[in-house]
């Protein structure tokens, strides 16, 4: 019993370390968007070029999602995380010293490449250490680091520019903290010995046959489609600071506060949506319900006029951030749907294709603004996709709780 208790306590150490790393990765991921008004002016970027800068983090990130599952099986989640986190540290330092568009792109590519394997492997480690009845909740806490990191970025950079006159000192501090996270990964992460023994020898199938099986399993197609469709709302949230400055007349500090409402509400969103799902013993119901609310909040935000009080903008953005946290349900749902041998690869596939969708849509959103001189066409697409996402979840996903849709 003492050994069981000791492992239960160490599970929280594992969770704390991966939360720190994931917080920093999300801070860095959001930095170009949080700095968009500054970088557009500083570098003389068009909106299309700014969209490319926002997306450059995700180009290699998306392509690495399936390999991340493979690396997890070959190297193990700990060694995979440690190796790639070092690349993230290098990219962070390069971004700090960058003074031109293409060097920033290279830095973003390195940061995205280094961060690409983290979440899937952190999910695997967390899932191995926590029992089934606490697993979704633990993953909710991990995923909440997304909102916390984004919030720190969207609020931190406006404050840094206001208080100390520039963004680079804050970015340097983030590089130091990313280095601390790397050291914590080296010192504290380890695989659960029981999980290693249970998983060893479960499948003698060749690796490529498992990859093919994951690609061909039609049960993941609704998750792929859902992640791609949800990425349209994430594109909106990325462009939100510039949109509010251009069309609603908000200051840089004000858009930082409004944008941060979505990020900060994503923190309880990840935790509470996962808890609600565990308590209800249902995955599909909260997925559909919160997707519908997100679509409603997006429409209300984009259709509101310039005279709308800033508190209303913040409330709507906060509602979107909370409801978009339904993405946290995708990973336990995939694990409950597919066999153990292919679920990790499938999670990487879903995350990769969804991220690639975001990478492609963000520059297109900006290019449409350049071409039309306004945000109307881009935002009309975002509203329509929000409705379509809810319908897709309602009619094309199945209940998965407890492996209801699984056949090993």
Domain assignment of residue 307, yes or no:
yes
> CA torsion sign, 284 to 285 to 290 to 296?
positive
Query: What would you report as the CA-atom Rg of the chain, rounded to the nearest whole angstrom?
Result: 20
DSSP secondary structure string for all residues of 119-167: HHHHHHHHHHHS-HHHHHHHHHHHHHHHHHHHHHHHHHHHHHHHHHS-S
**Tally of domains in the chain:** 1
Domain assignment of residue 275, yes or no:
yes
Q: How far apart are CA 261 and CA 256, in angstroms?
A: 9
Q: How far apart are CA 389 and CA 289, in angstroms?
A: 11
Domain assignment of residue 1, yes or no:
no
64: number of Cβ within 10 Å? 24
As a residue count, the chain comes to 408
Domain assignment of residue 201, yes or no:
no
Most distant pair of Cα atoms in the chain: their distance: 66
Q: CA 212, 213, 217: angle at the middle one, nearest 5?
A: 120
Domain assignment of residue 197, yes or no:
no
Domain assignment of residue 238, yes or no:
yes
Residues of the chain with pLDDT under 70: 1-7, 69, 194-207, 403-408
Q: What does the pLDDT read at residue 190?
A: 86
Q: What does the pLDDT read at residue 167?
A: 92
Domain assignment of residue 270, yes or no:
yes
Question: CA–CA distance from 143 to each of 12, 137, 195, 256 (Å)?
Answer: 15, 10, 22, 22
Domain assignment of residue 202, yes or no:
no
Q: What is the CATH number of the domain that holds 146?
A: 1.20.1250.20
Q: What does the pLDDT read at residue 196?
A: 56
Predicted confidence (pLDDT) per residue in 50-105, tens digit: 888 888 888 888 888 778 767 777 788 899 999 999 999 999 999 999 989 999 99
Q: Which domain holds residue 287?
A: 9-192+207-403
Q: How far apart are CA 333 and CA 90, in angstroms?
A: 34
Q: How far apart are CA 402 and CA 20, in angstroms?
A: 29
Return left, alpha or beta for 203; rule: phi > 0 is left, psi -120 to 50 is alpha, else beta: beta
Cβ atoms of 333 and 219 within 8 Å: the answer is no
Return left, alpha or beta for 281; rule: phi > 0 is left, psi -120 to 50 is alpha, else beta: left
Q: How far apart are CA 259 and CA 92, in angstroms?
A: 23
């Amino acid at each position: 019993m003492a050994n069981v208790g000791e492992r239960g306590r160490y599970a929280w150490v594992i969770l704390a370390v991966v939360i720190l790393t994931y917080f920093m990765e999300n801070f860095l991921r959001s930095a170009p968007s949080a700095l968009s008004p500054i970088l557009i002016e500083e570098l003389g970027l068009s909106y299309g070029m700014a969209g490319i800068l926002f997306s450059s983090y995700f180009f290699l990130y998306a392509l690495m999602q399936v390999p991340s599952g493979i690396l997890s099986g070959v190297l193990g989640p700990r060694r995979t995380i440690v190796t790639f986190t070092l690349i993230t540290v290098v990219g962070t330092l390069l971004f700090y010293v960058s003074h031109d568009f293409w060097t920033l792109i290279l830095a973003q590519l390195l940061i995205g490449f280094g961060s690409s394997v983290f979440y899937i492997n952190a999910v695997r480690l967390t899932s191995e250490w926590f029992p089934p009845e606490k697993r979704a909740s633990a993953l909710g806490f991990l995923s909440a680091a997304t909102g916390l990191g984004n919030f720190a970025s969207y609020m931190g950079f406006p404050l840094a520019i206001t208080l100390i006159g520039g963004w680079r000192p804050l970015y340097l501090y983030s590089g130091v903290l990313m280095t601390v996270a790397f050291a914590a990964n080296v010192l504290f992460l380890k695989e659960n010995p029981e999980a290693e023994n249970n998983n060893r020898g479960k499948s003698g199938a060749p690796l490529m046959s498992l990859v093919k099986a994951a690609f061909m399993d039609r049960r993941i197609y609704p998750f792929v489609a859902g992640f791609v469709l949800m990425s349209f709302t994430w594109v909106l949230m990325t462009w939100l600071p510039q949109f509010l400055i251009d069309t609603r007349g908000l200051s840089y500090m004000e858009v930082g506060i409004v944008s941060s409402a979505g990020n900060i509400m994503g923190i309880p969103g990840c935790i509470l949506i996962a808890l609600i799902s565990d308590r209800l013993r249902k995955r599909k119901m909260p997925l559909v319900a919160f997707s519908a609310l997100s679509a409603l909040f997006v429409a209300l935000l984009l259709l509101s006029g310039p005279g709308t009080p800033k508190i209303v903008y913040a409330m709507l953005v906060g509602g979107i951030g909370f409801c978009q946290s339904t993405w946290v349900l995708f990973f336990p749902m995939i694990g409950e749907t597919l066999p153990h041998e292919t679920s990790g690869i499938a999670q990487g596939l879903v995350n990769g294709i969804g991220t690639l969708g975001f990478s492609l849509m963000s520059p297109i959103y900006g290019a449409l603004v350049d071409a039309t001189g306004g945000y109307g066409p881009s935002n009309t697409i975002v509203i329509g996709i929000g409705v379509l996402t809810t319908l897709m979840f309602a009619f094309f996903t199945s209940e998965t709780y407890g492996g209801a849709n699984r056949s090993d």
